[in-house]
Amino acid sequence: MADPEKVHAVRVGWGLVIHGGVGVLPPEQLTPAVDGAYRDALTESLSRGFETLSGGGSATDGVVEAIKVMEDSPLFNVGRGSNLTSDGLVSMDASIMEGGTLSAGAVAGVRDVRHPIRLARHVMDDCPHVLLAGEGAEAFAREMGMASHEPDFFFTQRRWDDLQAAKAREAQGEAKPNTVDAGDEEIRDRAGTVGAVALDREGLLVAGTSTGGSANKKWGRIGDSPIVAAGTYAGSHCGVSCTGWGEYFIRHAVAHDIQARMAYLGVTLKEATEQVVLGTLEDHRAGLGGVVAMDRQGYVEMCFNTRGMYRGWVDEVGRVRVAIF
């Protein structure tokens, strides 16, 4: 029997696939208790998404609800567990896209919104634009009735310690360039993100991604997560959510490239994800990362070129599988 931690070509019918980022803790830090906490959080996210879909909610609803669970968890680099910028504050990004209409919404550089993915959906549904940033995005959140939260709401000691460690490596000249030679600390600093792709009973395919960005980032840096086609894409063939070194996912338009390979080359979802993640990114020494993806037939892929990726899926009968390595 196939190991559920390593199985490919899973078909969920209508359902949901999620990731919690490729910046996994090293084995010595991933104690049984910590491992269990991550698996429980992934399971809760999938269960919330499944409850939404099985209750008649759309794929958009399922993606938003699943991601909101992770945004509320201090375990993931998103929402209340977000990395801190060089000035010690959070700066969060998110995007969402519907495959049927190519409708999309995204926000970047928001500091006071509990659920950036919810705000991204408001941009998609209630705004003539696709991407809002900074104070403008926060003002739009107020217009949508979303509460503003103080910086302390997002503070965690773990992320503060991560920031100090990142600053120390930077001061000592130990921060490595964005290549596949980078060490575990750099991967965890830069590669934490969460995302989901859902297919509902009506055949709507939706992808969403949310992140706290890289630790110790400066100058208003924005990665791939709020960039449609780079960090998130849903089209006629598949939906994709990415996690990894954002600058390189932007340069290679990773999420859209997977969709394009299926559309123009006629390859399967498995072939497309592996060609991009294990081919393009590695061949061009273009950084570390992974994707979760689903096609219109309900086949799921979870492909990564790192040691691990927090991930899982739930199928149409409510069967849940989660994995880390």
Give the tens place of pLDDT for each residue, 278-292. Answer: 999 988 765 789 999
**Is residue 155 packed enough to be buried (19+ CB in 10 Å), middle (13-18) or exposed (0-12)?**
middle
Q: Which residues have a catalytic role annotated?
A: 193
Convert the pLDDT of each residue in 240-273 to its tens digit: 999 999 999 999 999 999 999 999 999 999 999 9
**Amino acid in position 238:** C
Stretch 41-46: mean pLDDT, rounded? 99
Residue 93, pLDDT score: 99
Residue-range domain boundaries for the chain: 10-323
Q: What pTM does this model have?
A: 0.94
For residue 147, pLDDT over 60 is answered with yes
Residues 10-323, CATH architecture: 4-Layer Sandwich (3.60)
Convert the pLDDT of each residue in 282-325 to its tens digit: 887 657 899 999 999 999 999 999 999 999 999 999 999 999 99
Residue 7, pLDDT score: 44
**Is residue 191 packed enough to be buried (19+ CB in 10 Å), middle (13-18) or exposed (0-12)?**
buried
**C-alpha distances out from residue 17 to 49, 58, 135, 282, Å:** 9, 15, 32, 24
Residue 176, pLDDT score: 52
Q: Are 205 and 238 within 8 A, CB to CB?
A: yes
**Is residue 238 packed enough to be buried (19+ CB in 10 Å), middle (13-18) or exposed (0-12)?**
buried
Sign of the C-alpha dihedral, residues 157, 153, 42, 209? negative
